[in-house]
Amino acid sequence: MADTNTFKASPEAKGKAKQFRIFAMIAWLLAMAGQVFAILKLISDETLVWLIVAIAIILVLAITGSTLWKKANKLDPASEADPTRFFIQNQLGAIMGVLAFLPMVALILTNKNISGKTKGIAGSIAAVAMVAAGITGADFNPPSVEKYSEEINQQNAAAKSLNINSDNVYWSKAGNKYHAYDDCQYVKGKALSNGSIKQSWEEKGISELCKVCAKKAAKVAVPAEVPSDVKELIESE
């Protein structure tokens, strides 16, 4: 793989990722604070309803944090070359989701000052919330520098098969596809950024060619040279 096609997050993408991670950390800290409050004040027969409410709020905060963290990872992914960092960065949402409930679940189930009914209801709800937070926070298909680099190379190859200059494509601020032509109906008259397919990935996370542009380029491409996956893109609605 050529170094020029190795993905590297742009400063703008890194800045957005940093913001997402800060907000994620705040959400997780609030979830932890909510757990501490619930442990100290709400584990009793008299406050069962409020304990359930607290569990729901903690779950929302945990999931919010995980969602923001995953968005950050998509903008600024870790490298598989460092397995420890790669695992922690991509699965931190699952770890924090479990930690937001595990101590509380343990204390509810071992508490001798609450009834069996309260213990069963609160313990079950908290355990279910812990599992939900853990599963929601886990990333089963984590992004990585290597995956992005491979996909960039695939996009470059697809562009080449359509005689598209992979170093000269266009994208708009709000768009989610790159364009081979600046007069494409979807971007005509809009303020456009211009650069390589690699830059569109690094700056905006764009990984798909506009279908209209693909069809236009295919008219002048040699059919035998167009890969099957590109043909599917062109033929799909």
100-117 pLDDT, tens per residue? 999 999 999 999 999 999
User: Which of 87, 128, 111, 97 has its CA nearest to residue 39?
Assistant: 111
Q: Please name every residue paired with 179 in a beta bridge, in sequence order, or none if there are none.
A: 170
The whole-angstrom separation of Cα 164 and Cα 221 is 9
Distance CA(148)–CA(144), nearest Å, equals 6
Q: Where are the domains of the chain?
A: 3-137, 145-235
**Tokens at residue 30, please?**
């609030």
Comparing 203 with 115, the larger pLDDT belongs to 115
Q: pTM of the predicted model, to two decimals?
A: 0.82
Provide the token pair at 97.
């989701």
Of the chain, the percentage scoring pLDDT greater than 70 comes to 91
